[in-house]
Amino acid sequence: MELETVKVEKDEEINIIMGQSHFIKTVEDIYEALITSVPGIEFGIAFCEASGDRLIRYDGTKEDLVEIAIENAKRINTGHLFIIILENTYPINVLSDLKKVDEVCNIYCATANPLEVVVAETENGRGILGVIDGEPTVGVENEDDKKWRKNLLRDIGYKR
């Protein structure tokens, strides 16, 4: 077995959701889940088939986001991988609906952080062992940090 890390290439403000699915209709079902979650959502999806034609299937509402998803899928190149690139939408707004898609087996991450994917390759193929999402912590929040966190969540409308 060989191990490698693959860096996900994206702009800093773009969010990504990465997971594993199992069937060719993944792209269409994820597309439907996303567009019904957030009106006017902008996204791109890429899905790596693991058998049959073994193509990268794709769709989306914005061409440049579709291209980012496809390029990252090419580089990671593991079976049944799906990548969703989101712009102007947070993953929290779509994750519940995405998890309800019958084909979705696993969500590896939902992040805007710098991201690396740990990939194992054997004679049988390639698979994701995990992801490296962001940087290590540097401490524990204090009371001012708690106040800032709570205010932020209310300011952006996620808490009342």
The mean predicted confidence, pLDDT, of the chain is 95
CATH T-level assignment (fold) for domain 2-155: hypothetical protein tt1634 (3.40.1520)
Range name among 29-33, 36-40, 55-59, 133-137 with the lowest pLDDT average: 133-137
Structure tokens at 89: 């939408």
Tell me whether residue 136 is exposed, middle or buried, using C-beta atoms within 10 angstroms of its C-beta: 0 to 12, 13 to 18, 19 or more.
exposed
Q: Please determine, for residue 156, whether its predicted confidence score (pLDDT) is greater than 90.
A: no
Percent of the chain topping pLDDT 90: 90
Q: Where are the domains of the chain?
A: 2-155
Structure tokens at 155: 């300011």
Residue whose pair of structure tokens reads 């609906």 in the numeric block: 97
Which amino acid is residue 103, in one-letter code? E
Is the full-model pTM beyond 0.85?
yes
More confident residue, 23 or 19: 19
Give the whole-angstrom CA distance, residue 102 versus residue 22: 9
Q: pLDDT value at position 134? A: 87
Q: Which of 87, 85, 76 lies closest to 131 in space, CA to CA?
A: 76
Q: pLDDT value at position 158? A: 86
